[in-house]
Structure formats: C-alpha cells, structure tokens
A = this chain, B = another copy of it.
C-alpha cells in the first residue's frame, strides 16, 4: 500500500445494505465524499475504491464525472483526488443562507483578529459535537481544520454547555458510554462531567484544560435561543499557559459575542 491509509470500515454502501454489491452512482458518490472528508487529505483512487468498497471501474467512472463538474480535483500529478472549488462555492452559499451562522462568522473573525488566538463556533449534530466555523489566530498552532468533524461531547468545553438544558440522567443516556473515554485512554468521570455542566451554567461560560490535547485550554460561552436553550457555542482555543488575566478578558469577549448571537432575553 503506497499510501498510509487504512481501511476504516469497509463502508457498506450507504443507507441499507444491498444483497449483491450493486449500488446507485449517487450513493457511491456520497460515500466517496464522506470518505475524503474523514481522511482530510488527497487520496488515490484505488485507495478510495478499496476503503469504500466500491468497484474500481465504478470509482474511475464517477471521479471523471466529478472532476469535470469541479466537485473534485486531481492533485499534485500523483494521481490523488480531493475536493474541488465547487464544494467551496456551494458551502459558501450554505453559510450565507443561515442567519445565525452568517452572524457568527463576523463574531468569530472579530474575536480571532482582536486576540490573535483561534476562535470557533460550534454546534451539536446528533449526539456529537462539531466545529462549524474556525478562524485560526496569528499563532495558529493547530494547522489542520476540524470543521465538520464529529467529536464526542465530553471531550470538549463547548459540549458542557450544549447539553445544559437536559436533566442529569437525560445527559448520561444521551451521550454514548464510549464517548467518556479520552483518546489518551483516560476516562472522564460521569459525576465530574455533570458537575462541570452545572458550574458552567452558573458561570455563563466554561473552561477546560488538557482534555483532548495536553497543552490546550478551551474557553467557551453559550449562544441561547428564545427558550434559553444553548444552541451553539463560541469559543477560544489557546495554549494552556496563557496568563489568567488574559484569559479573563478573553472570557469577557466571548460572553459579549455570545450575547450578541443569542435571542434577547
């Protein structure tokens, strides 16, 4: 295998499995795009075929079609493909069409510019947390964006705000058990997690340190809808050794921005 890509799941087409291997082109394409998004790197066609369980001849056929439409681009001359400009155009149309996100973009950009630190706008999708907007700061100590990548709720500061409308037992049944296990093997205690959530609601913000990454602190503030439910968060991702005074003033910035995005009380 010339590329370090591992088969992830031998994705079974999409939706329901079909008895024989045959699938619609559109379902193959959806699987292909999801696969590229998971890998987040230009990928060779043969690897796509293997890892998505799509016949090789079919992938070649579809990739040709998609490259022509600029949904995909051939990269580097090393026979890899990745997303093309059309995805950016359609994605921009989406961002502009959603009121809250359009406003959040201004806030996130402003926060990142003001502070020089990475600022994000996050929401839930199902029982997972994900980054919707990411504005790298001047420091930019994390290069690869994680936009649209699902992450377990307990791994994140924002997650502690996004479930704060649920009762403790609802929270624990909402979040899958395995999501309390951090990537480094540590396990987040359920009662501590619930305690954090109560604390966060009281404070109007949340801070976590060294959760996913040993040297990173996250600061987050809640964006609330008319019913005071937290529908999104806005946050900073900063080095853990940032001074307390600086952190305090960043929290104030966050709360002000979050307030602007929230439906007025």
Residue A37 interfacial (CB < 8 Å): yes
Kindly state the separation between the CA atoms of A110 and B137 in the bound complex, as whole angstroms: 11
Q: Which residues of B contact A109 (CB under 8 A)?
A: 109, 112-113, 135
Closest residue to A75 on the B side, CB-wise?
A: B97
Which of A78-102 touch B at CB < 8 Å? 82-97
B83 touches A93 (CB 8 A): yes
Query: Residues of A within 8 Å of B, CB-based: how many?
Result: 53
Task: Say yes or no: A94 contacts B90, CB within 8 Å.
Answer: no
Are A92 and B93 within 8 A (Cβ)?
A: no
Copies in the complex: 2
A-B contact pairs, 10 of them (CB 8 A): A24-B25, A37-B89, A37-B90, A82-B94, A83-B97, A85-B94, A85-B132, A91-B91, A91-B92, A92-B134
Q: B residues within 8 A CB of A132? A: 85, 88
> Could you tell me the distance in whole angstroms from the C-beta of A43 to the nearest C-beta in chain B?
11
CB neighbours (8 Å) of A211 from chain B are none
Q: Which residues of B contact A147 (CB under 8 A)?
A: 88-89, 92-93
Smallest CB separation, A224 vs chain B (Å): 21
- B-facing mask of A19-43, CB < 8 A → 1, else 0? 0000011110110011011001110
How far apart are the CA atoms of A2 and B186 in the complex, in Å?
A: 58
Confirm or deny: A68 has a beta carbon within 8 angstroms of a beta carbon on chain B: yes
Does chain B have a CB within 8 A of A71? Answer: yes
- Separation in Å of the A65 CB from the closest CB of chain B? 6
Taking the complex as formed, is A264 at the interface, i.e. its CB lies under 8 A from any CB of chain B? Answer: no
